Amino acid sequence: MSPLEPMAQQLDWFTDNLIYNLSFIPDDKLDWKPAPSANSALEIVNHLGGGLSAMRSVVCGGEYTPDFQPATDRESAVALLKHQSSLLARVIRELPPHEMEQTVHLPWGEYSKPLALSMDVTDVIHHHGQIAYIQTLLGDTESHFKDLGT
Ligand code: NI
């Protein structure tokens, strides 16, 4: 098993629970934003689609360039998250041992591949919190955990 398996599991878990939390935001509120300068739930999902695809590209030897089809509704948002997250989880699980020490150039600096990958997993966790916070702004103050069915 890869030493990065826990990181891949973390990405799987938070993507799943982010999608679950998204299900508590009504269809007509997916575009809603709390302020003109803030992101809507749909914009957050598309930000993640860009980040996940760009990180996969750069860790696999390409440029840090987003490559994804932007989501426009719930169905495409869920599909985008599942697809891009599963592709990056595979890159994490299959990173060869000799690449653990290699670095990649991200727009904000140069990092080892494992650290760069962990930054993207952390971004999913960060935006998971934003989706949950949008729920509270819409009046839903419950904590939603898929594993508990709450
Ligand atoms: Ni982000």
Q: Is 85 helix (H, G, I), strand (E, B) or coil?
A: helix
Provide the 3-class DSSP secondary structure of residue 80.
Answer: helix
Instruction: For residue 48, report the distance from its CA to the centre of ligand 1, in Å.
Output: 7
pTM for the model stands at: 0.96
**From the CA of 51, how far away is ligand 1's center (Å)?**
7
Tokens 């030493």, residue located:
3
Q: How many CB atoms lie within 10 A of CB 106?
A: 17
Beta strand ranges found along the chain (DSSP E): 103-106, 109-112
Q: What is the pLDDT of residues 30-43, one digit of tens each?
A: 999 999 999 999 99
Sign of the CA dihedral 78, 84, 86, 92?
Answer: negative
Each residue's pLDDT tens digit, 112-147: 999 999 999 999 999 999 999 999 999 999 999 999
Q: Residue 14's Cα: distance from chain center in Å?
A: 8
CA of residue 50 to ligand 1 center, whole Å: 9
Token readout for 88 is: 């990056």
The pLDDT assigned to 47 comes to: 98
Taking the C-alpha atoms of residue 68 and residue 60, their distance in angstroms, rounded to an integer, is 16
* Ligand 1 center from residue 125 Cα (angstroms): 9
- Quote the percentage of the chain above a pLDDT of 70: 100
The residue behind tokens 């696999």 is 60
* Å from CA of 123 to ligand 1 middle: 5
Distance 44 CA to ligand 1 centre (A): 8
Gap between the Cα atoms of 120 and 5, Å rounded = 15
**pLDDT (tens digit per residue) in 52-85:** 999 999 999 999 999 999 999 999 999 999 999 9
Distance 127 CA to ligand 1 centre (A): 6
